[in-house]
A and B are shown apart, each in its own frame.
Chain A
Amino acid sequence: DVKVTQSSRYLVKRTGEKVFLECVQDMDHENMFWYRQDPGLGLRLIYFSYDVKMKEKGDIPEGYSVSREKKERFSLILESASTNQTSMYLCASSKSGGYYEQYFGPGTRLTVT
């Protein structure tokens, strides 16, 4: 059974803290994605990676960075968390090519106080 796991389901952090969200997939997928999900806005792409050490900005990269040192692992970093980054964060992976479906992790609900 294919699997995407995320390091935490719920996380509470203080403003200004550095936050790491980790995602691991076991399907040997080339592509990995980080989205944030907010009510009424759907899923917005933060960053994606199409290979180890390769990354591209998505639609809302400001305030975030990513790291992909191994094929199976893709980390999202909030350099200095702010309250407007309170959201649900979803990681996904897929084979290379726009016709392959994405597989999603369970999500991390991050609250920044």
Chain B
Amino acid sequence: AQSVTQLGSHVSVSEGALVLLRCNYSSSVPPYLFWYVQYPNQGLQLLLKYTSAATLVKGINGFEAEFKKSETSFHLTKPSAHMSDAAEYFCALGASGTYKYIFGTGTRLKVLA
């Protein structure tokens, strides 16, 4: 069975500090992994995706994520948080041969001035 776990439903960081949002997955087939961001009262927007081409994936707004098969993880990082990064972040899992995606329960990021 496939699953996605996001550790920490709420994360607070100071402006300028490192952002680390955790995502672990379980999949019996090679996974495709995505990070999405949702700003208040908006839909989800793709930040980045892993599709097996490279383990370190760079996305928009300075975010990146590293696929670690041995740890079944796909954590999202940004070196320096901005106030505008305050939002909810979702990790999602897809797999070849399936139409469905599995979404994590989300992590709400708060950036403190």
Contacts and interface: CB of A to CB of B under 8 A. Distances in A.
12 contacts: A41-B105, A42-B103, A42-B106, A45-B100, A98-B99, A99-B51, A99-B94, A101-B49, A104-B43, A105-B43, A106-B41, A107-B42
A42 B104 contact: yes
A9 B65 CA distance: 32
Range, interface on chain A: 20 to 34
A48 interface: yes
Interface residues of B, number: 26
B56 interface: no
A82 B39 CA distance: 27
A102 B101 contact: yes
B96 interface: yes
Nearest to A91: B43
A109 B45 CA distance: 18
B96 A99 contact: yes
A99 B31 CA distance: 8
A94 B9 CA distance: 27
Interface in B55-113: 90, 92, 94-101, 103-106
A58 B42 contact: no
Contacts, number: 64
Contacts of B43: 4, 90, 92, 104-107
Contacts of B92: 102
B41 A42 contact: no
Interface in A82-113: 90, 92, 96-107, 109
B57 to A, nearest CB: 12
B42 A43 contact: no
Contacts of B101: 45, 98, 102
A92 B104 CA distance: 16
Interface string A42-85: 11010010100000101000000000000000000000000000
Top 8 nearest A-B pairs by Cβ distance? A104-B43, A98-B94, A42-B105, A43-B103, A99-B32, A104-B44, A98-B95, A101-B46
